[in-house]
């Protein structure tokens, strides 16, 4: 070999030697120092992390009937990195899902491995998408909130969002109990995007807790049905009814009209979700006379047969004139409440003084939240004493210049019906979690002496037996209550409206155990606007059903207890 050829060969050998050394070093660097990076890169081409939502807890009524639960549904997602023809994919999906093509195109153009396209669709829609065989498009099972009773108790239950998080009602108030904890799963997809395999890399979602309510679905159904009948009969705008266990504060039914179907949320205005019995404040009218009754009894200012002259229907007070709907001459204290004389009540309240009267308003819970476990409760409006005018002391005792909600009125009447205890209204009865059971404690405090509470109850029974609440009377039963007919303030004319009224009746059933309070309030009824004509008959319908239902229920309980006692005695004998 010539010297020149030998020299060239040596340079070639050196070149290749250096090349392979550099290549080796590069491979060594990538294998050792960049190993994790390339492993993640390779893994990301075939693996995706997909969220798994934890199942939301079930809501039961007091008898174990399901009010809210979860059903299985399907959601569609995309891996934009696997979609080659994004325009065509967007076009085909738009036709099936009825979603604008540009909205889908925008989603699948993102630089992500996981994008939701649509959530919680039907099996039919899911199968249509599957049949398109689009690369990078897959489905996943999800849970959807479902209300099997549809509109029943809708303003109590509330709604959830697309991720099953509570938005309103009990779904919001007890979201921390009901909401499950989300999990994650790693999904392996083949290179052709033909199949999805769940890998062992998973964080298991946790189920939320189940809750049991004090609401009885049967009572709730009757209340909603009768309320709707009354609303249509009087062409009223809005209405609410509350049934409360006077001893415990348990809400057995709470109905609002109009209501909505939480399964078809898009069809209804958010305004319909408002729980009017809790969230709406109004001037109560004569039902507020319960404050004067209780205060006068507690302060020894009430005398059954003492006579008060009611001025034949017109009485001049500072800054205004007080009127009775029917002109009365002389009435006894008991008759004043039975006939609902504004003038008589005003004169009785005057014997108390404004400071003592104010104390009893607060004692009965007005001007403060009841603490009911529903969102949006208003405090009401009880004016501070230093803002009262000379007229206020006569107007407030007859239910003007004061704001309340229906739950507050229910609680005040319960204090009379349960021998003087102010209860805390509530709708949650118990909580279940992984075999553990938690009962919600009853909260109440003594505010009226037992004797005076029973005395007040007997006066309110006169209202039903021989007064303005006659249409609430039920033969053979002890029913007490108070009617209320209140003009509503019209901000457009800056005074009380001559045509818009709120008709109310709040009463109790004393002849069953436990005693039950039923509160009715109807806003803007037509044809008639009197509480005794509009709301008292609705009270009666609901009360008749409630009495039969509770007595039948108590009979079953007593029979079961008798059987258990007999069985125990037989066992002891053996």
The candidate with the shortest Cα–Cα distance to 118, out of 177, 369, 298, 128, is 128
- Torsional sign, CA 116, 118, 122, 123: negative
How many whole angstroms separate alpha carbon 531 and alpha carbon 519? Answer: 11
The candidate with the shortest Cα–Cα distance to 506, out of 396, 422, 409, 402, is 409
How many whole angstroms separate alpha carbon 468 and alpha carbon 445? Answer: 31
Q: Averaged over 208-230, what is the pLDDT?
A: 97
pLDDT surpassing 80 at residue 527: yes
How many whole angstroms separate alpha carbon 116 and alpha carbon 75? Answer: 8
Peptide bond into 508 cis (omega under 30): no
How many whole angstroms separate alpha carbon 135 and alpha carbon 171? Answer: 38
From the CB of residue 165, how many other CB atoms can be counted at a distance below 10 Å? Answer: 15
Reading the block at residue 137, the tokens are 């498009």
56-213: CATH class: alpha beta
Asked if 332 and 306 touch (Cβ cutoff 8 Å), the reply is yes
Note the Cα 151 to chain centre separation in Å. Answer: 13
Cα three-residue angle 402-369-360, rounded to 5 degrees: 55
- The set of residues, in sequence order, having a beta carbon less than 8 Å from that of 165 and lying 6+ positions away, is 175, 179
The candidate with the shortest Cα–Cα distance to 334, out of 300, 295, 293, 364, is 293
From the CB of residue 557, how many other CB atoms can be counted at a distance below 10 Å? Answer: 10
Asked if 286 and 314 touch (Cβ cutoff 8 Å), the reply is no
Confidence of residue 572 (pLDDT cuts 50, 70, 90): low
Reading the block at residue 394, the tokens are 């006569």
pLDDT tens figures, 383-429: 999 999 999 999 999 999 999 999 999 999 999 999 999 999 999 99
pLDDT tens figures, 458-514: 999 999 999 999 999 999 999 999 999 998 887 888 788 888 999 999 999 999 999
pLDDT surpassing 60 at residue 43: no
Domain residue ranges of the chain, discontinuous segments joined by +: 56-213, 217-261+274-558
How many whole angstroms separate alpha carbon 523 and alpha carbon 504? Answer: 9
pLDDT surpassing 80 at residue 281: yes
Three-state DSSP class for residue 344: helix
Q: Averaged over 535-556, what is the pLDDT?
A: 92
Q: CA–CA distance from 272 to each of 203, 219, 268, 506, 520 (Å)? A: 39, 21, 7, 24, 18
> Which CATH homologous superfamily contains domain 217-261+274-558?
DD-peptidase/beta-lactamase superfamily (3.40.710.10)
- The set of residues, in sequence order, having a beta carbon less than 8 Å from that of 352 and lying 6+ positions away, is 292, 295, 296, 299, 301, 360
pLDDT tens figures, 424-449: 999 999 998 877 788 889 999 999 99
Predicted confidence at residue 132, as pLDDT, reads: 85
Three-state DSSP class for residue 157: helix
Asked if 224 and 152 touch (Cβ cutoff 8 Å), the reply is yes
pLDDT tens figures, 70-107: 988 888 888 888 888 888 888 888 888 888 888 888 88
């Amino acid at each position: 070999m010539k010297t020149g050829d030998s020299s060239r060969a040596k340079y070639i050998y050196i070149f290749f030697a250096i090349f392979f050394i550099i290549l080796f070093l590069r491979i060594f660097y990538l294998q050792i120092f960049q190993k994790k990076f390339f492993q993640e890169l390779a893994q990301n081409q075939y693996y995706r992390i997909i969220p798994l939502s934890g199942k939301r807890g079930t809501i039961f009524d007091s008898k174990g009937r399901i009010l809210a639960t979860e059903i299985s549904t399907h959601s569609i997602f995309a891996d934009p990195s696997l979609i080659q023809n994004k325009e065509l994919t967007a076009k085909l999906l738009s036709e099936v899902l009825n979603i604008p093509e540009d909205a889908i195109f925008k989603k699948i153009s993102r630089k992500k491995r996981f994008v939701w396209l649509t959530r919680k669709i039907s099996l039919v829609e899911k199968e249509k998408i599957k049949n398109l065989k689009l690369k990078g498009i897959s489905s996943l099972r999800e849970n959807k909130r479902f209300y099997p009773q549809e509109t029943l108790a809708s303003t109590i239950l509330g709604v959830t969002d697309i991720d099953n998080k509570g938005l309103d009602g009990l779904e919001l108030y007890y979201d921390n109990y009901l909401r499950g904890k989300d999990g994650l799963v790693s999904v392996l997809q083949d290179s052709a995007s033909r199949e999805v395999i769940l890998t062992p890399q998973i964080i298991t979602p946790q189920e939320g807790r189940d809750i049991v309510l004090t609401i009885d679905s049967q009572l709730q159904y009757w209340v909603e049905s009768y309320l709707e009948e009354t609303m249509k009969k009087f062409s009223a705008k809005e209405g609410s009814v509350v049934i409360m266990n006077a001893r415990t504060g348990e809400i057995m039914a709470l109905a609002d009209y109009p209501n909505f179907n939480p399964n078809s949320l898009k069809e209804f205005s958010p305004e319909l979700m408002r729980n009017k019995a809790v969230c709406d404040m109004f001037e109560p009218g004569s039902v507020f006379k319960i404050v004067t009754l209780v205060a006068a009894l507690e302060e020894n200012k009430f005398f059954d047969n003492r006579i008060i002259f009611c001025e034949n229907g017109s009485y001049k007070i500072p800054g205004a004139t007080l009127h009775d709907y029917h002109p009365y001459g002389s009435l006894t204290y008991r008759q004043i409440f039975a006939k609902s004389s504004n003038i008589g009540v005003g004169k009785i309240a005057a014997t108390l003084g404004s400071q003592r009267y104010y104390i009893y308003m607060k004692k009965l819970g007005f001007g403060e939240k009841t603490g009911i476990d529903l969102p949006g409760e208003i405090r009401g409006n009880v004016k501070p004493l230093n803002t009262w005018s000379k007229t206020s002391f006569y107007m407030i005792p007859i239910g003007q210049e004061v704001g309340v909600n229906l739950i507050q009125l229910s609680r005040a009447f319960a204090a009379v019906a349960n021998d003087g205890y102010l209860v805390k209204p509530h709708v949650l009865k118990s909580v279940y979690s992984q075999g553990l059971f938690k009962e919600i404690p009853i909260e109440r405090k003594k505010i009226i002496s037992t004797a005076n509470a029973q005395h007040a109850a007997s006066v309110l029974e006169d209202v039903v037996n021989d007064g303005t609440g006659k249409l609430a009377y039920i033969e053979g039963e002890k029913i007490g209550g108070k009617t209320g007919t209140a003009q509503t303030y019209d901000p457009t004319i800056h005074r009380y409206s001559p045509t818009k009224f709120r008709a109310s009746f709040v009463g109790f059933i004393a002849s069953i155990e436990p005693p039950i309070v039923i509160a009715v309030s109807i806003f803007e009824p037509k044809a008639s606007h009197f509480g005794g004509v509009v709301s008292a008959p609705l009270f009666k319908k609901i009360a008749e059903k409630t009495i039969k239902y509770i007595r039948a229920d108590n009979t079953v309980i007593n029979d079961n207890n008798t059987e258990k006692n007999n069985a125990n005695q037989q066992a002891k004998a053996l």
